[in-house]
Structures are given as structure tokens and as C-alpha cells.
Amino acid sequence: MRQPIIRCAAVCVTAFASTVILSGGAAAGPAACQSRVNNTHAKLLECVTVEGVREHQAAFQAIADANGGTRAAGTPGYDASVDYVVARMTAAGYDVTLGEFPFVFTPPAVLQQLTPIAAT
């Protein structure tokens, strides 16, 4: 079995975590969010908007659409998701460090129906 090395941007590759951490984009809340340190939960929540959440969800969906419908670990969609998060975090002024770890990727099984008619 192939053992790819997975790049990990902390735990930020999930859509929810990315949306919260990356909320400093153009669709963020009040203008103050762009220039202040959002170092508390309350401050961060003031800056998360539905528009910002949808922006990141759309970006992650576009990544999945361009990569066979998946962003699962071990796939090109995952790598593209990491690249998206790194680019957004870097643009927001964060120093991003990626850690590598071994990961055994097992692709999903392809099921076959044998009766009453053959189908994949």
C-alpha cells in the first residue's frame, strides 16, 4: 500500500475551521476587524459573517469540483485545500508552518451489483 506524506496546515483544512480562522477576508464583518487583533472568542465572532463563511465554502467546493469531487486526505483535492488555507493565512499576516506525517491512504471501494442485473 502506498504511504503518501500528508501536508497539514494545523487543523485548518476543514471548512469550518478555515472559515473561522480565515474570516479576515473581504467579506469580514466591521472594518475594525481588518486592523485589530482578534484574540478572544467574542472578538473573533464579531468578525465572522455569513458572507465570509459562504466565500470559503464556495472555494472549498470549487477545489472539490476540480479534483474529482473530493478533498479527502491523500488526494490532490486535499493538497489544493491546504494550498488555499496557506495562501489565505499568509495573506492575513500569519506565519504558516506545515508539518508532515505518514498517512496510509485507502481509496473507497468500488462496489459491484451482480444480481438481478450487473452494475457498478
Task: State the total domains in the chain.
Answer: 1
pLDDT of residue 43: 87
Q: Which of 55, 71, 94, 67 is nearest to 14 (CA)?
A: 71
pLDDT averaged per 10 residues, the chain (length 120): 44 42 50 81 88 95 96 92 94 88 81 80
- Residue 73 pLDDT: 87
pLDDT for 29: 58
Are the C-beta atoms of 105 and 14 separated by less than 8 Å? no
The confidence score (pLDDT) of residue 45 equals 87
Residue 110 belongs to a domain: no
Residue 118 class from Cβ within 10 Å (0-12 exposed, 13-18 middle, 19+ buried)? exposed
In a domain, 112, yes or no: no
107 falls within a domain: no
- Flag whether 119 is in a domain: no
3-state secondary structure of 102: strand
SS3 11: coil
Q: What is the pLDDT of residue 68?
A: 94
- Residue 92 has a pLDDT of 82
Q: Which domain holds residue 49?
A: 5-102
In a domain, 96, yes or no: yes
